[in-house]
Structure 1
Amino acid sequence: MSRDTHPGVQCPHCQSHLALVPVPANSAAAPVPLLPITPKEEWQPPPVADVLAVYAGRVKDTATATRGAAKVRESLNRARAAAAQRRAAQKTARRTPKSA
């Protein structure tokens, strides 16, 4: 077995086998040109809405999804406003001067 094709040398990220390249004796005078390394393409799963639409036997309806998201945002904004109003009322209730 050649030491250039040793099976134990692998890239820790993509697990591809690496070849050992001998370095010339006068490496400072003549640097070895490096090959450009292309980054490994990161795989991302498809959006959840697309996957669930397939399992439900439906087509993803963008208009309905947009309306639903708008309703959720509106509901969250109302809840935030109510919570802020509740906190303000509690804060003023704590600050009221006690009658002597």
Structure 2
Amino acid sequence: MPIAAKEEWQPPPVAEVLAVYAGRAKDSVTATRGAAKVRESMNRARAAAAQRRAAQKTARSTPKSA
């Protein structure tokens, strides 16, 4: 019984995906608010990552008591 080669999944063409949004009017207020939310979220994630790295660094550098 021959094993059929599994077809590799391909994402849809970008133009096809963006066509859905083509008719929409740009709402700059909503866009600005969305961008601000994303920025805030990224900053929070960045701060959390920095804090995690610092905690790992101190955990590594702290000599373990025998």
Name the TM-score class by shorter chain: 0.5 to 0.7
Residue identity (%): 80
Instruction: Find out whether 1:63 has 2:55 as its counterpart.
Output: no
TM-score by length of 1: 0.44
Q: Partner of 1:94 in structure 2? A: 60
Instruction: Find out whether 1:80 has 2:46 as its counterpart.
Output: yes
Query: Aligned AA for 1:96?
Result: T
With CA pairs under 8 Å and 6+ residues apart, which has the higher RCO, 1 or 2? 1
- Runs of 4+ aligned residues of structure 1 deviating over 6 Å after TM superposition are 51-54
Determine helix, strand or coil for the equivalent of 1:65.
helix
Distance 1:52 1:85 in 2: 42
Determine helix, strand or coil for the equivalent of 2:64.
coil
Task: After TM superposition, list the pairs within 5 Å mapping 1:34-45 onto structure 2.
Answer: none
Unaligned runs of 5+ in 2: 1-17
Give the superposed CA RMSD. Answer: 2.0
TM-score by length of 2: 0.65
| CA deviation after TM superposition for structure 1 residue 94, in Å | 0.3
Of structures 1 and 2, the larger Rg is shown by 1
Distance 2:19 2:42 in 1: 24
